[in-house]
Each structure stands twice: as structure tokens, then as C-alpha cells.
A and B are shown apart, each in its own frame.
Chain A
Amino acid sequence: MTDRAPTDWRTDAMRRRIVRRYGAERRFRMFGLGAIILSAGFLAFLIVTMVMQGAAGFTETRVSLPIDFAAAELTVTPEQLRGDRGNLALAGAGLEGVVDGAAGAAFAQQGGAELLSDGAWLRVRDTLKANPGMLRGRTAIDVPVATDIDVAYKGDGTPEAEQVVAALGDRLSRGLNRDFFGNADATDPTRVGIWGALKGSLLTMFVTLILAFPIGVLSALYLEEYAPKNRWTDLIEVSINNLAAVPSIIFGLLGLAVFLGTFGLPRSAPIVGGLTLALMTMPVIVIAGRNAIKAVPPSIRDAALGIGASPVQVVFHHVLPLALPGILTGTIIGMARALGETAPLLMIGMRAFIAAPPEGLTDPATVLPVQIFLWSDEVARGFVEKTSAAIIVLLVFLLAMNGVAIYLRNRFETRW
């Protein structure tokens, strides 16, 4: 053993080294904090711009339209208005013409019927059906205005439209656009709705989840717990890792060739979209699932086997419940990616104008990101706020999905 003088911490050289060490520590902390602040800043910027632009998309501008139904002499009795036949009766009686005429009389200076949205007479129809007594009198109904007036009232219109808005003054009012949550795509921005695309997304995600989740989890379980380690399983592992990294458009082409070409499934249907996205999501679930299963301590398996459980019992009573939080996290990441996917869906015909919400898995449908893409491509000025509003709906959908995942994870999470 050699004698060594104790370190003298007070020399200048040592002091400089200590200062450098603390400096490095502080800098590292600052960089980390900076990274967090930067990403939070980007997120805040995204959300603030979307909410600022999109909030107006959830509202509509209405104008109070006086109509004298008694003078209009619609050949409809209040009894005929009940049920679905009422729609036909009122359309047949020329309600649209009556509404246009009333607008022409009331707003002769401001362009008459041009002032109203194409869907204004539908609002009158629904009001009439709710209050059949109106047929015998004179009344004022709030109806949606045309898109250029709508945009101008919200503060971003052309000079001509601004003049009309100023002339109408307080006959204009603002309200929640309920049609936006009930309608599907339309050519007039005042009539579009997000429900068609939202329902399409829900149906597509449903198909994706019920296919990708069980198949992915079972594959992960088999590969981790049962499969022998040989060249074939290595090959499968490499293939799955590769599949998870394949660009999504390739899955679209695959879906086009297999589901539409070979199986002859209908184009533009949520079931085909779901099948295609399931192909894309499954490898992500397998990889996340295998990692989660690997992280279950071997002592749990050994203990269960030791007290006489069969391998299947070990897997389903112990390993799977303990691995579930990790599997769910992976599933949600995969599903979130699938929810935001457009490229593969373009190939199978889900980029389409469809004016009504889908009624089943085989009905033509579109999905939220495709709808956003379609609206961003529209020329009319009114679609800008609708695009942002649709993005807000997509973000809320995503947040809800993540919320469910966090809830499930916390419920099943075990610490040891």
C-alpha cells in the first residue's frame, strides 16, 4: 500500500473542478427544463390557434325572418305534419318557395333569399313540425344566414357582406350550431356537420380494436411464453418489428389489393378501413405487449407453477393481468396513430363526399382526419373555421381515448 496525501480541496485547481461539476449539473437541468418548456409551448400554440379559429365554427349566425303562414296558404293541415310524412308534405307544398318569398319581402335591400343559408327552410320546417299551430298565423323564426354573411358577422368578411351585417343590426343573433353535431358533409359551410365523420371514425376504430387487440395480445403471449427460441421465431420477431415501421400507405395498398380486390368488400366502408388499420396497429400492440410481458418478474411465474398452476393458468391468472397496463399503453399509442391516419384510407376510397352519416359497418363513410383534409381543400372562406372546429373534435376524441387508457392502467397497475 502506498502513502498518498489526502486531496486538498482548497487548492485553486480543485475549486475550479468543483465549480465546473456544479455548472455541468445546472446546465443539464436547464436543458431538460428548456426541452419541456419548448414542447409545452408548441402544444399551447397549437391548442390556442385551433380554439381561436375553431370556436366560431361551433356557432352559427341567425337572422330573424318574419313569415306570414296564414297568407302563404300552404296546403298542409297541422295533422299532416306529424312523423316523417310531414317532411314530404311540407316539401311538396312548396315551403322552400314560401321561405324564399318571405326573405325577399323582409330583406329586399339586402339581397332577399341570397341572405339565407341553403338550409334555412329546413330550420323553418323543423320549427313548424314542433309547433303546428304556427301554420295559422304570422310569426318570426330565427334561421341560419348564408356563409358570407356568417363569416362577416364573425368579423372577417368582405366589405359588401360587412355592409349587409351593419344594415341588419340586431336582427342578427348568434347561437350554437346544433347541425354541426348532427349532419355530415355538405357543400355549403353553414350546413356541414362533423357527426358523419365522427361516426365513421368510431366504427372504423371499433373494427380496428376488436381485431388488432386480441390478435396482437395473443401473438405477444405466444411468442413470449410458449414459442421455442429458434430461427423461425427470430424471423417472425424481425418481421413484426419491420411491419411496425412500414409506412402506412403500404398498408393502404395492401388493403386495396386484399380486402377490395380479393375479398370484394365494398369500397369506402368502415369495415375495410378498420381491417386495414388493424393490420397497421397489430405490430405495435405485439411489440408493446411482449415488452410488458417480459417485465413481469419470473418469480411470479415460478411461484404460480410451484403451487401447481398449469401454464395456461399462469398466463391468464397472473402474467396477463400484471402485463395489462403496459399492453394497454401500447394499444392506445397504436390506436391513436390509427385514428389520425389518412394515407391508407385514401387508397380504399374513404376520401369521399358523403352527405349522410353511415348506418353500419358496410355503409360508405369517411373519418375525421380525412374530413379535415377535404374541408381544408375547399375554396369557400367559411370552411376555414369548420376545419379548425373539426380538428378540435379530433383532439377531444384523442384526449377521451387517452383518458380511458390512463383510467384502465391505473385500475390494473400493480407495483412490486
Chain B
Amino acid sequence: MIRAALPLALLALTTACQDQASGGAGARAQITTVGSSTVYPFTTIVAEQFLANNPDARPPVIESTGTGAGMRLFCAGIGAAHPDIVNASRRMKRSEFDDCVKHGATEILEVQVGIDGVAFAEAKNGPNMALTPADLYSALAATPGGKKNKARTWRDVNPALPNTPIQVYGPPSTSGTRDALAELILARGCEDSDPSAKALKASDEDAFKARCQRVREDGAYIDAGENDNLIVQKLTANPNAIGVFGYSYLEENAGAVDGVPIADVAPSTATIVDGSYPGARPLYIYVKKSHLDAVPGLRLFIRQYAKLWGAGGPLARRGLIPAPADVQARSAQVVQSETPLDGNLLK
């Protein structure tokens, strides 16, 4: 037995060494994508259609890592060892772009594929909450108004709200949904409730972020991992809790949970497209331009994306909200002409 196993072990080690040689050289037969768990289901659909239309292509690898972790992997360099596409549920940050440039990925295509809303939901038998960004800011920020958050119940936040403990299930800090919560809801609530915050935003952005966008960590906000189904389950088990996730999950689970209106606007496809719902955000894919020629099929893959993202298309059926017509035209233009992103436009 041992006599047979040893040569096999050696064989495995040699294969490993050969792979090491090819790993860095830039030859890779399949497309690799990383990033947001919100964009993941849409990219898997595109991958499937891509395979159906190109039966000879190797299947793309689509990982769901969260936007932040995906950006780190994406920007770690160019070549076969690094992913071709990152799915993002927010715009790339200036710091991430700089990181990309530092590692050689200077030309990046930015393609907005659609819109998603950050939805707040409660169980069907919940207390029918109606919140404002200011309420959510006072309930969820680590230091609302510069002081440590001591609110325990919703009534502590706003006397009109029920006297139930603040329990909010949401995604972890690596998630783009969490970034959208901080940037769209908390930052707005901060500016609404605290007039000095606006001045602070102009003068010291880091201090603004620390005061307005940091989520409390004392148990009121409960990190439920990158598993949105788990949040839905927790909500049905605990009617007093509020859940935070992407709008497509709310739509799919309309039978189990109800959307919570924010500033008197209920989350729906209509309110998200017209911009009246405060929790809407764009979804992007970022593609390395230098990989378009190196990785077989990558160009066809992003064109396939452009074919599917329209209203009534397969992505919309799965829950993606199509972007407004002018944004769609601009994205299609980027895919066609392969115009790289100008880093100076990023924040």
C-alpha cells in the first residue's frame, strides 16, 4: 500500500510545480469573477447564457466574496492569478482604484449593470414600523451626534416608535449592502438630524465618516454574514427584529416579510427607479481591459451582460432593477468602445 502511495504523492507534487509555472504566466482558459453577493446571482445567469451561446468555452468561475474583499483580490495585480471581473454593489473607491493602479491594473472598464435597493424588512406579523433615515441613524450609528449610542429600544430613538428592543440583522462590513446602508441611509440621517454634520463633511471627511457612517458594535446591529436567506429566517422567528438586505431578496420573499417604508416611501421597483426611495444604489461590474485580449471569451462575456440587463430580460426576472435608459446607453457604450475609467471621477 505504502509502496503504491509514495510515487502518487510525488506525482501530485510535480503537477503542483508545473501549475506554479503556468500560474503566473498569463494563460488561463476560463473567466474568473469575484465580489458582491448581491451581483452574484445576476453574473451566474450571464455565465450560463454565455456558456449556452459558446459551447466550447470553459465555464466561468463566479465567487461571492463581498464587494470589499473582491476589490482587494481584483486590484492585487494583472495576469492569470488575478480575477478578470469584480462584481460591486457600490462604486469603486478612489483608494481601491489607486491600489489597482499601483499593482499594474491601470485600465479598468466600469459598467453599471443595474440598480438595487437596500431594503429594510420586518416579519408579516411585525409592528408595521415606518422609519426615517434619522431614526435609523440614531438607532444604528456607533456615535450619533458624537456621543456613544445608548439607545436600547426604538422608543429611545423616536417617541412615536414602539417600545421594542433595537434588533437589526444585516450584512457584515465586507458587504457592499452594508456600505450602501452607511452611505445612503446613515449619512443622510446624520445630516438630517445634526446640522453641523454638513459642515463637517466639507471640512473633515474622515471625521464625518467616523461620526455618521460607523455602525454600532454593541449587539443592536447583528452581523448575519453574507447569507441573506438567514436574515429572512431570523425575521420570521423574531417579529420585533428588522432585517437589512438587497431589494431583490425582499421581492423574492414578499410572502414571508414586509418592506419597511423609509421616510414614507415604501421600497418598490417604481420608487427605486424614480429615485424617491432613499435606499437605492447602482450595481457595477469592473473589468480589466488588459485581460480582454488575454482571457478567451471575456469580451463576449461582458457583451452578453449588456444583452441581458434590459427591462423584461432574464436579469430583471431574477430581481435586477434595470438602470434608467441613459445610464444603460452609457454602459453599453463602455462595453462597445472599451473606454477605461478615469480615476479622477471616483471619490
Q: Which residues of A contact B (CB under 8 A)?
A: 87-88, 91, 184-187, 207, 210-211, 213-215, 217, 260, 263-269, 271, 274-275, 320, 324, 349, 351-356, 361-364, 376-379
Q: Given known contacts A187-B45, A213-B5, A379-B252, is B23 in contact with A264 (CB within 8 Å)?
A: yes
- B63 and A352 contacting across the interface, CB-CB below 8 Å: yes
Query: Which of B16, B48, B58, B62 is most buried by chain A, counting CB atoms within 10 A of its CB?
Result: B16
- B41 and A214 contacting across the interface, CB-CB below 8 Å: no
Q: Which of A266, A353, A363, A377 contacts B81 (CB 8 A)?
A: A266
- B16 and A275 contacting across the interface, CB-CB below 8 Å: yes
- B15 and A362 contacting across the interface, CB-CB below 8 Å: yes
Q: Interface extent on B, as a size class?
A: 35 or more
- A265 and B16 contacting across the interface, CB-CB below 8 Å: yes
- B8 and A210 contacting across the interface, CB-CB below 8 Å: yes
Q: Given known contacts A210-B9, A214-B6, A267-B32, is B47 in contact with A353 (CB within 8 Å)?
A: yes
- B59 and A354 contacting across the interface, CB-CB below 8 Å: yes
- Given A187-B45, A275-B16, A356-B59, 7 other A-B residues pairs in contact with their CB atoms under 8 A: A186-B48, A210-B12, A263-B20, A264-B20, A264-B23, A353-B43, A379-B41
Among residues of A, the one whose C-beta sits closest to the C-beta of B23 is A264
Which 6 pairs across A and B sit closest by C-beta, in order of nearness?
A356-B59, A353-B62, A355-B59, A264-B23, A364-B61, A379-B252
Bound: A364/B33 CA distance, A:
12
- B15 and A361 contacting across the interface, CB-CB below 8 Å: yes
Q: Which of A211, A215, A266, A353 contacts B44 (CB 8 A)?
A: A353
Q: Given known contacts A88-B55, A207-B12, is B61 in contact with A264 (CB within 8 Å)?
A: no
Bound: A265/B19 CA distance, A:
6
Bound: A217/B6 CA distance, A:
11
- A264 and B81 contacting across the interface, CB-CB below 8 Å: yes
CB distance from A36 to the nearest CB of B (A): 32
- A355 and B12 contacting across the interface, CB-CB below 8 Å: no
CB distance from B253 to the nearest CB of A (A): 7
**Interface residues of B: mostly helix, strand, loop or mixed?**
helix
Q: Which of A265, A351, A361, A379 contacts B64 (CB 8 A)?
A: A351
Among residues of A, the one whose C-beta sits closest to the C-beta of B24 is A264
Question: What are the residues of chain A within 8 A of B80 when measuring CB–CB?
Answer: 266
Question: What are the residues of chain A within 8 A of B43 when measuring CB–CB?
Answer: 353
Among residues of A, the one whose C-beta sits closest to the C-beta of B25 is A264
- A211 and B249 contacting across the interface, CB-CB below 8 Å: no
Query: Which of A187, A213, A275, A324 is most buried by chain B, counting CB atoms within 10 A of its CB?
Result: A187
Bound: A286/B274 CA distance, A:
64
Jot down 12 A-B pairs with beta carbons below 8 A, ordered by A: A214-B5, A263-B20, A264-B20, A267-B81, A271-B19, A349-B34, A353-B40, A363-B58, A364-B30, A364-B61, A376-B229, A377-B229
B129 close to A (CB within 8 Å): no
**B55-91 vs A: 1/0 string, CB under 8 Å?**
1001111111000000000000000110000000000
Bound: A268/B30 CA distance, A:
12
Question: What are the residues of chain A within 8 A of B160 when measuring CB–CB?
Answer: none
Bound: A271/B15 CA distance, A:
9
Bound: A187/B8 CA distance, A:
37
Question: What are the residues of chain B within 8 A of A354 when measuring CB–CB?
Answer: 59-62
- B15 and A355 contacting across the interface, CB-CB below 8 Å: no
Question: What are the residues of chain A within 8 A of B5 when measuring CB–CB?
Answer: 210, 213-214
Question: What are the residues of chain B within 8 A of A268 when measuring CB–CB?
Answer: 32, 61, 63
Interface residues of B in 244-265 (CB under 8 A from A): 249, 252-253
Question: What are the residues of chain A within 8 A of B229 when measuring CB–CB?
Answer: 376-379
- A355 and B9 contacting across the interface, CB-CB below 8 Å: no
Among residues of B, the one whose C-beta sits closest to the C-beta of A275 is B16
**B267-280 vs A: 1/0 string, CB under 8 Å?**
00000000000000
Question: What are the residues of chain B within 8 A of A207 when measuring CB–CB?
Answer: 12
- A379 and B253 contacting across the interface, CB-CB below 8 Å: yes
Among residues of B, the one whose C-beta sits closest to the C-beta of A364 is B61
Q: Which of A186, A353, A362 contacts B19 (CB 8 A)?
A: A362
Query: Which of A217, A266, A268, A378 is most buried by chain B, counting CB atoms within 10 A of its CB?
Result: A266
CB distance from B66 to the nearest CB of A (A): 11
- A266 and B58 contacting across the interface, CB-CB below 8 Å: no
Bound: A186/B60 CA distance, A:
12
B2 close to A (CB within 8 Å): yes
CB distance from A76 to the nearest CB of B (A): 16
Bound: A324/B1 CA distance, A:
10
Bound: A69/B316 CA distance, A:
33
B220 close to A (CB within 8 Å): no
Question: What are the residues of chain B within 8 A of A214 when measuring CB–CB?
Answer: 2, 5-6, 9
- B62 and A352 contacting across the interface, CB-CB below 8 Å: yes
Among residues of A, the one whose C-beta sits closest to the C-beta of B80 is A266
B227 close to A (CB within 8 Å): yes
B311 close to A (CB within 8 Å): no
B200 close to A (CB within 8 Å): no
Question: What are the residues of chain B within 8 A of A213 when measuring CB–CB?
Answer: 5
B130 close to A (CB within 8 Å): no
B51 close to A (CB within 8 Å): yes
Question: What are the residues of chain A within 8 A of B40 when measuring CB–CB?
Answer: 353
Question: What are the residues of chain B within 8 A of A377 when measuring CB–CB?
Answer: 227-229
Interface residues of B in 10-41 (CB under 8 A from A): 12, 15-16, 19-20, 23-24, 28, 30, 32, 34, 40-41
CB distance from B98 to the nearest CB of A (A): 22
- B32 and A184 contacting across the interface, CB-CB below 8 Å: no
Bound: A377/B32 CA distance, A:
21
Question: What are the residues of chain A within 8 A of B55 when measuring CB–CB?
Answer: 87-88, 91
CB distance from B249 to the nearest CB of A (A): 7
